[in-house]
Structure 1
Amino acid sequence: MKNIVLGLVFILGCNTHIWSQEPDALMINTFNRKTTSLNGVWHYIVDPYENGYYNYRYEPFDQQEQVSANAYFTNTKAQRPSDLIEYNFDESDTLQVPGDWNTQKEKLYYYEGTIWYKKSFDYTKTEDSNRVFLYVGAANYKTEAYLNGKKLGAHLGGFTPFNFEVTDLLKEKDNFIIFKIDNKRSKEGVPTLNTDWWNYGGITRDVKLVETPLTYILDYFIHLDTEDNHIIKGEVNLKGEANSAHEVTVEIPELGIKKKLVTDASGQGSFEIKSRKIDYWSPENPKLYEVSFSTNEEQLKDQIGFRTISTQEDDILLNGEPILLKGISLHEESPITKGRANSRADAEKVLGWIKEMGGNYVRLSHYPHNEHIIRLADEMGILVWEENPVYWTIQWNNPNTYANAENQLQEMMQRDKNRAAVIIWSMANETPVSDVRTAFLTNLIKTARKIDSTRLISAALEQSSDPNNPNIKHIDDPMAELVDVLSFNQYIGWYGGTPDLARITEWEITQNKPVIVSEFGAGAKQGLHGDRNTRWTEEYQEYLYQETLAMLQKIDQLKGMSPWILVDFRSPRRPLPNIQDDYNRKGLISEEGKKKKAFWVLKGFYDTWNKSGNK
């Protein structure tokens, strides 16, 4: 379609009215599909006033019959010397994708607002009848996506994937993708305005084109039956020709399994397979099987482990046996680039430290992390807590906020529901008790259980002090009745008192459920030494860990912990010069990769903490 430049306005053709739309149904397992990477160098334009999106009346260009040539998503070039075009992507600076803009360009370190990204490419399909999707691993926070000047749609949320079908818009030559990425925080957002981590902006995870046949495997979920661990159950969902049944073959060659099923008119089918030869996945034996799904048009493979996770009274059971979760919390920052983590090398480094610590478990805080770390945890045998970014105080009574939170939860679960390492879906962190908050989280739990009944549900709950004795703590959060595992954060000795207060603090927990202490810790500047009662020294942090671990062992129901935190991470709430310098210093390892004394305290504890727990 030829664009005709008319002064400052050009006509987009017959279908000129372009409206925002939701992404297409999220496909899973892009790791094993035919893909073309669009990572690498992208041109960018900083647009704090959003001049490339709104006209001077603050009306969106992409919702107008005649669109200004100065709408950045058109990528318009001047055709005549008299044309007034006030931008040029091809002569603008560049950023690497994936990557945050804050750590790539010093001038963007604190920037919150809109930046436009542009990438040009050629593409030829392997089969003319095939479909092509644009898949984005994550972009923070609101993304408006355009291909060749046409709007694909928009996505909200900075930590989950999304995709748009682009089949009909692709050309063999001279395609251009433009993203408007806006990382401004908002009251109605998820998370909301106030967090304790860096608001990295940009296209922070992989971007790729995914090519599929006309009817393709959109989704599948394969797992052990919760009642009989000799039965493998599964569901498959195809997308393509409507009202047409298709045969799907499920194979697990190592188990000698080959099962055929026929999908219904909606593209859905299910199966059950019995096998007494299953080698169950565990931290000691992270066994993954190659599983393939085949239709007449497509074969898709995945690497899947089989295990059960459940609770029985105050025990957590992995494959029917009690397990202690020896863990640590982690933010998604790269130990290599010091920005937002996005690579397998990042994951190898941090998960290697957890193994060195004697850990078997990681709490991925406070949002879904990238798929590399989830898949590597599968390979290495590290159990995973994944968390929806419902954090602190958000707009509990706002229907749009709830819809956003639910959508991010669904996208997280959709991507990772076939990973054996993931054992806990967390709904929220440190949310103050109220009726509207409890209703909000209750509905999220209902959604999570509907999608996946095979995993545990938790959240970092609120706790309270006994009115007659402030040194006795309770969990009286109403969410305690709905979760499978009781989890709470506590900072005795850091935000309240000094570490010796731990000696006289006790928990009286009335619910007969396992307990995971989801956070505890203290700040320390690596290399700063002094008396154990001097804050910010390694000795203070070491002392707090010693006293806290002794205190927590008094909790009979304690079955896991994830202290705060593995590595120091950036936070704008931490400005103390020469100590914090924009870093939360509660890490057991500095941002430079140097271990603090408390690392070895926790390692010593994990080396001796056994499955008998505290009984």
Structure 2
Amino acid sequence: MMQKLHFKCFLLLLVLIFVKTSAISSDLITNIPNRKTTSLNGKWQYIIDIYETGFYDYRYRERAEKDPEAYWNTDVPANSLDRKEHGYNDKYTLNVPGDWNSQADKFLYYEGTVWYKKSFDYKKSDTNNKLYVYFGAVSYRADVYLNGKKLGMHKGAFSPFNFEIPSSLLKEKDNFLVVKVDNRRYADEIPTLNTDWWNYGGIIRDVSLVEVPNQFISNYFIQLAKPHTKSNLIEGWVEVKNAKANEEVYVEIPELKINQKFTVNAAGRAEVKINAPKLKLWSLENPKLYQVNISSKADKVSEKIGFRNIEVQGEKVLLNGKSLFLRGISIHSEIPQEGRRANTQKDANQLLGWARELGCNMVRLAHYPHDEKMTRLADSLGLLVWSEIPVYWTIDFTSDKVFEKAKTQLDEMIDRDKNRASIIIWSVGNETPVSEVRTNFMKNLLAEARKQDPTRLVSAALEVNYHSEENMRWIDDPLGAYVDIVSFNQYLGWYGGTPESCRTANWGTHYKKPLFISETGAEAVGGFNADAKQLWSEEFQEWYYKEQVDMLKRMPSNFIGISPWILADFRSPRRNNPVYQEGWNNKGLYDHQGRKKKAFYVLKGYYDELAKKYK
């Protein structure tokens, strides 16, 4: 009897290990745009709380849940003698989604706590349904309360999260949702204290109420199987919350006349395999998207998914079996004309529209996951995407806790966008200084990305740790042994030498892999015209790009692309030249007003040549 019991326990352990390690399994609800939602966007009342009075008492102890002075509790006095030292009022409101820094001068440099409050009415369409509050992103830490009760806490400025609202807590009238938002920087967070972009705070992306059946399709991964070459096998999984073993789910692709049944296991997961011989692959020229319907006995979700092959063969990157050259550009999630975080569909149209006008077939979304509107739009436009987590510069690579935070943000990025055909590269970081502990840290992140999504390439923007042999500059960062493509940032002619330095420079890597330049660029103030040898002028930046392009034409045969830094000027507190920067990094090809600089046309000319060559 004991032997049978031990054997059953062993089998159960194996099942749990498989469920945990085979793919992402989280509480995040995916595909929010195609579910039953109620927007909570709009005006939210706020309180600036620099001393965190609403969270700690005067002895700096965390307040009790029912403490009347806790800012998550009602601010309405019970009577004329009920003293309240906090209050929410329409005199003080912030737009959601939106960063607070760009909404009032007093917020420009603010780092600390702001309490947000939103009142709403809600009645479920079915009392048995579940209700979640979903945040596209909050920068950086969010503590979420409803009607005085804490729903949960999330860290990470660029990832979505949701919390279930218990039925016992929800009211049909006068619910009040309170979010404590804290954007302070810490040495043990991701990113860390030191970055080269503005620390925008606030509820920076959409907020929604999401109503689903008690048993609902929470997550799924539907992509081409690997190995990709000449394969029309669609593979993946579907997760159904609260499903019982052997219940059925259906995956339908009406255009291909596919409607197949699968059964879930005890964990609510159904493994999916579909042969699709008539499948048309998503490509740059024809970004084909299929309507995919997934249904269970109580729920149905739909979205448009593209299927394509992306792989490395030797020193080449192949898209659908064809050699690919990446004509890229790096992008920050920022609208320069207004100096704010991008968060609307119009913003996504502007940024990706500018990239297409430049002649790009690829964008590097740096240095963190961008709004989901960007990746969905890239799907429909036929733009390839590099998506990255903010493991940036000198984080604490010795800390297991920091690694877990980085891993969580990586998992959240992949979880949200794993069904986007446009995304071909998951990047685990940027310009991390070489050391053994750093290499192990990054190597483990790369392994995590491959485990969660084996269908895409993995990389990182490497620090420029090269040595020169005469005029040959070798990229030999040890992390290159673990990535699919060797990507590096170089600013020859800006951070060292002059643009003329490019004339004798040649680049290579000891790794027999594709070689990609993930950044290069020089600053120029839009509208400042002078001699080409005058720093900060448009003419200097134009000269820089001309010399870079000539150098790129001498790159070795494994050179597969470039994503210069950067599409548009963006705010940065590190940039303090009082004449030429004033808190802006001006390496953009578009200036603060959205106007093209002269260097734009140099890069566009190069990309037009490449487009004809690789047509």
TM-score by length of 1: 0.93
Q: Deviation of residue 92 (structure 1)?
A: 4.8
Match of 2:280 in 1: 279
Match of 1:3 in 2: none
Match of 1:145 in 2: 144
Match of 2:493 in 1: 493
Match of 2:345 in 1: 344
Deviation string 1:187-226 (CA, Å, 9 cap, x unpaired) is 0010000000000000000000000000111110011122
- State yes or no: 1:380 paired with 2:381: yes
The whole-number CA distance in structure 1 between the counterparts of 2:382 and 2:612 is 17
3-state SS in 2 of match to 1:291: strand
Q: Deviation of residue 336 (structure 1)?
A: 5.8
Match of 1:157 in 2: 156
Equivalent residues in 2 for 1:343-492, closer than 5 Å: 343-466=344-467, 469=470, 471-492=471-492
3-state SS in 2 of match to 1:250: strand
The whole-number CA distance in structure 1 between the counterparts of 2:443 and 2:415 is 20
1:509 to 1:611, Cα distance in 2 relative to 1, 3 A: farther
Give aligned-pair identity as a percent. 51
Equivalent residues in 2 for 1:307-326, closer than 5 Å: 307-326=308-327
Residues 461, 477 of structure 1: 8 Å contact kept: yes
Match of 1:291 in 2: 292
Q: Which amino acid aligns with 2:273?
A: E
3-state SS in 1 of match to 2:429: strand
Match of 1:531 in 2: 531
Deviation string 1:263-310 (CA, Å, 9 cap, x unpaired) is 011100112111221111111111100000011111100100000100
Number of residue equivalences: 586
Q: Deviation of residue 472 (structure 1)?
A: 2.9
Q: Deviation of residue 98 (structure 1)?
A: 0.1
The whole-number CA distance in structure 1 between the counterparts of 2:232 and 2:411 is 28
- State yes or no: 1:255 paired with 2:264: no
Q: Deviation of residue 612 (structure 1)?
A: 6.0
- State yes or no: 1:35 paired with 2:34: no
3-state SS in 1 of match to 2:255: helix
Residues 473, 507 of structure 1: 8 Å contact kept: yes
3-state SS in 2 of match to 1:488: strand
The whole-number CA distance in structure 1 between the counterparts of 2:336 and 2:298 is 42
Match of 2:333 in 1: 332
Residues 526, 592 of structure 2: 8 Å contact kept: no
The whole-number CA distance in structure 1 between the counterparts of 2:469 and 2:121 is 71
Deviation string 1:17-56 (CA, Å, 9 cap, x unpaired) is xxxxxx9711110010000000000000000110000011
Residues 462, 476 of structure 1: 8 Å contact kept: no
Match of 1:193 in 2: 193
3-state SS in 2 of match to 1:107: helix
1:49 to 1:92, Cα distance in 2 relative to 1, 3 A: farther
The whole-number CA distance in structure 2 between the counterparts of 1:487 and 1:234 is 29
Q: Which amino acid aligns with 1:56?
A: Y
Match of 2:514 in 1: 514
Residues 330, 362 of structure 1: 8 Å contact kept: yes
- State yes or no: 1:170 paired with 2:170: yes
Q: Which moved more, 1:307-316 or 1:89-98?
A: 89-98
Residues 213, 297 of structure 1: 8 Å contact kept: yes
The whole-number CA distance in structure 2 between the counterparts of 1:125 and 1:419 is 31
3-state SS in 2 of match to 1:316: strand
The whole-number CA distance in structure 2 between the counterparts of 1:229 and 1:343 is 37
What is the aligned-residue RMSD (CA, Å)?
1.5
Unaligned runs of 5+ in 1: 1-22
The whole-number CA distance in structure 2 between the counterparts of 1:487 and 1:553 is 17
3-state SS in 1 of match to 2:30: coil
3-state SS in 2 of match to 1:508: strand
Match of 1:502 in 2: 502
Q: Which amino acid aligns with 2:419?
A: N
The whole-number CA distance in structure 1 between the counterparts of 2:236 and 2:392 is 33
TM-score by length of 2: 0.93
The whole-number CA distance in structure 1 between the counterparts of 2:263 and 2:61 is 49
Residues 75, 89 of structure 1: 8 Å contact kept: no
Deviation string 1:448-479 (CA, Å, 9 cap, x unpaired) is 1111000000001123343654x432221111
Q: Which amino acid aligns with 1:217?
A: I
- State yes or no: 1:121 paired with 2:120: yes
Match of 2:560 in 1: 559
The whole-number CA distance in structure 2 between the counterparts of 1:136 and 1:337 is 23
Q: Deviation of residue 259 (structure 1)?
A: 0.5
Q: Deviation of residue 346 (structure 1)?
A: 0.5
3-state SS in 2 of match to 1:347: helix
